[in-house]
Amino acid sequence: MSLVAAAAPAGPRAAGFARRIGVRLATLLAVAFAWEGLVLLLGIRPFYLPRLSAVLAAILATPGAYASGFLRTLTETLIGFVAGGAFGVAVAVAFLRLRTLREMVFPLFVVSQTIPVIAFGALVVLWFGNTLMAKAVIAFYLTFFPVTVNALIGLEAVDPRQIALMRSFGASPRQILLRLQLPSALPQTFVALRLAASLSLVGAIVGEWFGDTTGLGVLLLQAMYTENVVAIWAALLVSAFLGTGFYAAVAFVERRLVFWGAEQ
Amino acid sequence: MLKRRHLLAALAAVMLAGPAAAAEPVKASLRLKWLPQAQFAGFYVAAQKGYYQAEGIDLTINPGGPNLLAENLVATGADTFGLSGGSDSLLAARDKGLPVVCIGVSHQVTPFVFVTRKDGPVKTLHDFKGRTVTTWFTGANHVLNAILAKEGIKPDEVKIQPQQVSVTPFVDGAVDVATATYYNELYAIQSRMGKDQLRTFVAEDYGVTFPRDTLIVSQTTLKEKPDLVKGFLRASIRGWRDAFADPKGAVDTVMAIAPTLDRAHQEFMLAEVKRLMTAGPAKEKGLFAIDPAALAKVHDLLLQAKVIGKPVDLTSAFDSRPLDALSSADRQL
Amino acid sequence: MTAQTSRAVQRGILGALLLIGLWEGIARGLSLPAYILPAMSDVLLGVWSKRTMLGEAAAYTLAEALLGYVLGALAGIGLAVALTLLPQIRGFVVTAVTAVNSVPVVAYSPLILLWCGIGLASKVVMVALAVSFTLFLSTLAGLDRVDRRSIDLMRSFGAGRLALLWRLRLPTALPLILAGLRVSTVRSIIVAIVTEMLGAYGGLGWVIYQAVLQIDFVQVWSAIVVASAASLLFFGLVGLAERRLLFWKAS
């Protein structure tokens, strides 16, 4: 399979793509049927697990609320993800160049990641208000660190002989960075970016817990505290849809950009 | 239609509040203690009907959330007004030196009860001994301790545990007694177990009252913008009056903001909230009335429980002057 | 090596001291009230005066985090390795795992609290969920990173799947697995704390939640300082183990 794909990119690759989509759809359908069937067969009480059909009906009853929540959370996630990814890579490059900065700041970054933002709801509102930006900032905060860690590993893994070779041809540090180091670090960076895709969504959702009216986080919280299990699942499903879609998009870009190395 | 209403509102504003209101509306915000639901219907109705506009206030209603404290946000100036936890959280805030003042009390009686199954072993408060009782450690625990103390029961004779979000442990019988607000958990428990399956213990029956849902404002706003505070109270009371007169319409207003809520629950909630808001001193003095005697009792209870480290001056913590300045027509239901 | 390490430690300490100084300066200089930003000295005093209570809470949270961390790491690495041996079901499993894990872990908290109660179990499950995904992704990426020519070469010598895994894939994947393990340390403690805030009998998240409600900001910050210290310790230990392992591999 992999050999064929590598040898003849166009045709079989498209077929492979179609097959992957097929597998995914089949998986989803199987899970959906298993869900509905098991709940019915085992007579699971709806307070633990409601039927899928009941959950879907709840979404269809107020589609506007879920749609606007989806869009709002998506926007926050995207802003946080893009900003976090860019900042993460930039910091990794800075750390690579400036060892002193790295030694002084890296531990502080680690510390910053140990702080649960949820404890500072009031501070977040105070500093960033009740804006969309406040949520994006939290998404950013959760996103950038894994990207920095992985990008740095990737950057450092570049063979020094290759760098020496490029230098001997008169390449500037900028050229070395753009042509050699960053491309070599891409596979590692994308591993973190895929993780960051779900982390930025976490940030957006938790951010919406600081007093907001729209968003999937609001819907989750609302459902959790009114103990409306069907609504919890409805919000979960929409989050899953958003999360899977976003993750798939990042993975798609990864496949386009990182076509070497992987043996899959 | 809409235009005419705005025009009327503007006219009324000019006539009622004089030239001040004719100027540019003042921007202000109200921080709720939780997400939009019928518990706050009156404020949403007032905003939707333009009552705040009529008072010259451009009001934004900000929902609350877990770990978000209205006292904190009002003290820092992030929000102008707040509907905060209750007399307990306000006194704790004053004790910690936060410059916030209560200008009205929403729930005149304790908004929660202790509930047990009717066919279970707990018949009286004395049966709490040795049983698992869950409660919120956010104020309700002090009420529980206080009523137990009134009956001569020591807290360590009862297995008191933090209550989780879900009422499932109680419904499943893992917990003997649970705490429930009239408008939320009690609804969930009743709809899962049946109303006649339950026995409730009401704090008032043991001489304890715990007023909650306090309207707060910062000391600075109260001092510098008394008209804003008065206008806010007047418009809010108007909104609540309308919400009680037309509960279906009020639930519509709330559900336009939070469409995924359960309508039946929201209507139940509004009915219960009406009962809590119009009980006790509100009967004669109107909505948001501040009852110094009840608050003094809460104060002593919290002092005893060491929630507040030192006595708090109640007259500066609870200021009924803005409310008293309203005409009695503005205050009555 | 040692000189370099000690220099790095010195710089790290210098960075931390600069930050603490800046914090103290801002809080004292602008005489900020505690509900905006308490002075660092007050926070450290708060940690000291409540050390028993905070220590017990930290032990509780660490126990939850560690248990979830180990379970999650085993599950994540195990699943990724299993998929390399059984490539037939890879498409199915990756799809299912991605779908389950694309939902933010916090979104599961209502359900997990409902299913497992507010005791230890719910936190362990939440932490394991969070950690397993990170490690599944890292391990899978690491196992895939192998140069195809090396595989072909080893295959031509008659190496089976297991041999390929043990000799080639796992050693190649090790740096990424270890990076995943390191990143997950901090996540595990945060997830435990966030879940505790939504409902618990104890732990640092519970302390923070209580302190927020009682408007005790010094206590909020004290608990967070302790949480950070615990996370750093965990992070440092795993980092140390990582360096040992990689060093061993290189030699």
Q: B118 and B96 in one domain?
A: no
CB spacing of A126 vs C36 below 8 angstroms: yes
What subunits make at least 3 CB pairs under 8 angstroms with C?
Answer: A, B
What letter would DSSP give residue A180? I
Inter-axis angle of helices B185-193 and B263-277, nearest 10: 130
Shortest distance between the Cα of A74 and any Cα of chain B, in A, equals: 19
> In chain A, which residues have their Cβ closer than 8 Å to the Cβ of B166?
227
| Stretches in chain A below the pLDDT threshold 70 | 1-14, 259-264
State whether B226 and B173 are in the same domain. Answer: no
| CB nearest to A240's CB, from C18, C102, C111 | C102
**Is A51 inside a domain boundary?**
no
State the alpha helices, DSSP H only, in B55-184: 70-75, 87-95, 140-150, 168-171
**Contacts of residue B264, Cβ cutoff 8 Å, sequence gap at least 6:** none
Give the domain CATH number at B312: 3.40.190.10
Residue with tokens 């072993």: B121
C-alpha A231/C-alpha C69 separation (Å) is 30
Residue C68 is predicted with a pLDDT of 96
- Residue B309, judged by CB atoms within 10 A of its CB (0-12, 13-18, 19+), counts as exposed
Say whether both B9 and B77 belong to one domain: yes
Is residue A108 within 8 angstroms of chain C, CB to CB?
yes
Counting the structural domains of chain A, the total is 1
* Residue with token string 């090596």: C1
Specify the long-range contacts of residues B120-126, CB closer than 8 Å, at least 24 apart: B120/B176, B120/B199, B121/B176, B122/B176, B122/B177, B122/B199, B123/B199, B125/B151, B125/B153, B125/B201, B125/B206, B126/B151, B126/B153
Quote the number of domains for chain B.
2
Same domain, B105 and B122: no
List CB contacts (< 8 A) between C114 and chain B.
165-166, 168
Q: Residue A118 is nearest to which of C12, C107, C197, comparing CB atoms?
A: C197
**What is the structure's pLDDT at A6?**
36
B117 shares its domain with B92:
no
pTM of the model: 0.84
Contacts of A23 in chain C (CB under 8 A): 91-92, 95
Interchain pair C111, A232: CB under 8 A: yes
Q: Does B62 touch chain A (CB under 8 A)?
A: yes
What chain C residue is nearest to A264 in terms of C-alpha separation? C144
Q: Is A46 on the interface with B (CB under 8 A)?
A: no
Chain A contact present for B19, CB below 8 A: no
Q: Is residue C199 a contact partner of residue C120, using CB atoms and an 8 Å limit?
A: no
Q: What integer pLDDT is reported at residue A8 of this predicted model?
A: 38
Tell me if chain A has a CB within 8 Å of the CB of B6: no
A68 touches chain B (CB under 8 A): no
Q: What is the pLDDT along chain B (333 residues), one digit of tens a residue?
A: 444 555 555 545 444 444 444 568 999 999 999 999 999 999 999 999 999 999 999 999 999 887 788 998 999 889 999 999 999 889 999 998 899 999 999 999 999 999 999 999 999 999 999 999 999 887 888 899 999 988 999 888 999 988 877 788 898 888 999 999 999 999 999 988 988 899 999 999 999 999 999 999 999 999 999 999 999 999 999 999 999 999 999 999 999 999 999 999 999 999 999 999 999 899 889 999 999 999 999 999 899 888 888 999 999 999 999 999 998 888 877
Place of tokens 């993975």: A251
Which three-class secondary structure state does DSSP give residue B107? strand
Residues of chain C with pLDDT under 70: 1-4, 247-251
On whether both B105 and B221 belong to a single domain, the answer is yes
Residue B228, number of CB atoms within 10 A of its CB: 21
Taking the Cβ of residue B220 and every Cβ of chain C, the question of whether any pair is shorter than 8 Å is answered with no
Domain extent at residue A164: 64-257
Say whether both B220 and B321 belong to one domain.
yes
Distance from CA of B167 to the nearest CA of C (A): 9
Which of B187, B206, B225 marks a domain boundary?
Answer: B206
A94 and A105 Cβ atoms separated by less than 8 Å: no
Strand arrangement of the beta sheet that strand B112-117 belongs to:
B159-162, B132-135, B177-181, B112-117, B198-201
Asked if the Cβ–Cβ distance from C213 to B69 is below 8 Å, we say yes
Query: Which chain C residue shows the shortest CA-CA distance from B162?
Result: C201
Question: Are B191 and B266 in a shared domain?
Answer: no
The CA distance from C50 to the nearest CA of chain B, in Å, is 16
Name chain B contacts of C217, Cβ cutoff 8 Å: 96
Smallest CA–CA distance, residue B253 to chain A, in Å, is: 14
In a domain, A107, yes or no: yes
The HSE-up count of residue A234 (CA atoms within 13 Å, CB side) is 29
Neighbours of B46 (CB within 10 A): 30
Nearest CA in chain C to B77: C36
- Locate A79 and state its tokens: 């802003």
Tokens of C36: 């905006």
Whole-number pLDDT of residue C103: 76
In this structure, is residue A184 part of a structural domain? yes
Rounded to the nearest angstrom, the minimum Cα separation between C235 and chain A is 9
- Rounded to a whole number of angstroms, the distance from the CA of A225 to the nearest CA of chain B is 6
Strand intervals (E) in C52-174: none
Separation CA B267–CA B142 (nearest Å): 30
Beta strand pairing status for B26-31 and B159-162? unpaired
Q: Would you tell me how many other CB atoms lie within 10 Å of the CB of residue A79?
A: 19
Q: How far is A126 from chain B (nearest CA, A)?
A: 6
Residue C186 near residue A112, CB atoms below 8 Å: no
- Write the residue in B35, B69, B166 that is nearest to A222 by C-beta: B35
User: Which of C92, C102, C182 lies at the smallest CB-CB distance from A198?
Assistant: C102
Which residues of chain A neighbour C95 with C-beta distances below 8 Å?
23-24, 27-28
Q: Are residues B104 and B6 in the same domain?
A: yes
Last residue of a domain, one of B154, B175, B206: B206
Q: Does B12 touch chain A (CB under 8 A)?
A: no
Which domain range does residue B197 map to?
Answer: 112-206
Is B64 in Cβ contact with A125 (below 8 Å)? Answer: no
Indicate which CATH number applies to the domain containing A143: 1.10.3720.10
Cβ pair B85:C214 closer than 8 A: no
